[in-house]
Structure 1
């Protein structure tokens, strides 16, 4: 089994990021979406890697196999976005999603971030279980901060508190 490295995104990763995300969105979940529909991905360094935000990639054999973005939305709050893991490295054997999330949570703690919010769709049932197992609790849309970047496809929302007794 080849080793998977988790590291911050660099500009040279851009094509690989699209090659992981687009097939999952289109083929697995049947979402008719293009690269142009996701302008945040064209400017990852500006959109995610600013303020207290960051964007990570999971890399195996020089290929990006996973992505995870953290968008600074102000007030020590952030939005988790673009968590995607290629089908061939999903599951406990590789632990890519858990390792990406651990990197994000460690970063959040170091940056003094208090809350991480995320939006997802009703279709992503495995994602719901993953987030719930990892300390996220569902919140009504009305409880999201005004600065939360709402996506039209999102119908289910979660929050995880950082650095408090309540997780």
Structure 2
């Protein structure tokens, strides 16, 4: 599946499930397709987590629609009861339908259950809709940011739990 996914993807119910090895190919395709949709190219250093997602993340969930990987969200353990939200991606046909909120809530519920004191994330300046979603969940922009990705500044956000 690529960014030109069939428009009928939106007619399917969406289930959010923990990542399983059989999701690896669909997860990698989702990440690459979404990066390209927003004008980024995969980077062998920044995207090495795709080689072994289970090792890269404390927790990873997949949104399944019509039997296909249609979304994802992950948490990386930064130590000190702080997690970093990663790989929050969703196929365009499912955006603005509450699926992103469900993915985010799944990750934040897990963080709270696991006694996290904060969740951080970084996102590109151009990701306006994603930034609105994070802010609506209580994330606030803080000084700093991740490494620029192909010239695009990264903004750092934090949510105290």
Normalising by structure 2, what TM-score?
Answer: 0.86
Q: CA deviation at 1:34?
A: 4.8
Aligned with 1:55 (options 45, 53, 60): 60
RMSD: 1.6
Contact 2:16 2:63 in 1 (8 A): yes
Corresponding residue of 2:70:
65
- 1:60-89 Cα offsets, whole Å, 9 max, x none, are 121110011100010000100110000011
Correspondence for 1:25: 35
Partner of 2:112: 109
| Matched-pair contact (CA < 8 Å) for 1:17–1:67 | yes
Deviations, residues 26-51 of structure 1 (Å, cap 9, x unaligned)? 1x211122567511111111110xxx
What number of residue pairs does the alignment pair up?
148
In the alignment, which residue of structure 1 is the partner of 2:55?
46
Paired position in structure 2 for 1:152: 148
5+ residue gaps, structure 2: 1-10
Runs (5+) with no aligned partner, structure 1: 145-149, 163-167
Correspondence 1:83 to 2:82:
no
Provide Cα deviations, 1:5-60, integer angstroms capped at 9, x if missing partner: 1011011101101221111111x211122567511111111110xxxx20110001
Q: Tell me, yes or no, if the aligned pair for 1:18 and 1:35 is still in contact at 8 Å.
A: no
